[in-house]
Copies of this chain bind each other. A is one copy, B any other.
Amino acid sequence: MTADAPARRPRGRPGHDRAAVLRAAIDLFIRRGYDATSISDLAAELGVTKSAVYHHFASKEALLAAALDEALSELGAAVEAAATATDGEPGAVRLRATVEAAVRILADHLPAVTLLLRVRGNSDLERSALRRRRHIDDRLAALVRQAAAEGDLRTDVEPEVISRLLFGTVNSLVDWYRPDGPLSADALAATLSSVLFDGLRPPEP
């Protein structure tokens, strides 16, 4: 074993690390679907026994709960921090800051957020996650209404439709953004917010 080996996280032994078990579970849930994935599949993927998985998580649902909580806690905290940082500023400024904060979390926690966005409300756990997600969406929608009321958004599109387009554009990032690609999370957030607010046209000369 060389000195840098531990940093590479040896394959076949991550079952001993709670975070690694959760990462592998999220990846499997995304690739095969939550319903189609079993604790046996996960143990096989990690190269550990089922009881090594159960050492960290009591059930498959506990894994999903941890994943959804990661996404929702991070998103909630980021939206909260953006609100605090822009307290008293115009709605449009607060909205942009909040959208950019959400995009950065999406980029930094891509697998957990991907899973969150696939939740359809098929269990109490999923319905609870949807309620927390709606609470975050409601805060953004309120900022859209504030910005519209302050005259900082176009008036020919209903604030509700603006919110939907905004959520849709942000959420669809999970379909193509790759953290190991050329675009950093910060650049992604700045690009998306600028395209949304200023459009795709070149600036007037």
A-side interface residues toward B, CB under 8 Å? Answer: 33, 35-36, 151-157, 161-162, 164-169, 171-173, 175-176, 183, 191-192, 194-204
What separation, in Å, do the CA atoms of A33 and B34 have in the docked complex? 12
For A201, the chain B residues whose CB sits under 8 A away are 152-154, 197-199
Query: Taking the full assembly, how many copies of this chain does it contain?
Result: 2
- Given A157-B191, A195-B157, also A176-B200 (CB < 8 A): no
A-B contact pairs, 10 of them (CB 8 A): A151-B202, A153-B202, A157-B191, A165-B169, A166-B200, A168-B168, A168-B175, A171-B172, A196-B199, A197-B199
| Interchain CB contact (< 8 A) of A172 among B155, B172, B192 | B172
Q: Tell whether, in the assembled complex, residue B195 and residue A198 are in contact, meaning their CB atoms are under 8 Å apart.
A: no
- Given A198-B201, A201-B152, also A164-B176 (CB < 8 A): yes
- Given A200-B154, A201-B153, A202-B152, also A175-B165 (CB < 8 A): no
For A164, the chain B residues whose CB sits under 8 A away are 176
Q: A154-B198, A155-B202, A161-B191 are in contact. List 15 more A-B contacts (CB 8 A).
A: A153-B202, A154-B200, A154-B202, A154-B203, A161-B183, A162-B195, A165-B192, A168-B172, A169-B172, A195-B196, A195-B199, A196-B199, A197-B199, A199-B200, A199-B201
For A183, the chain B residues whose CB sits under 8 A away are 161
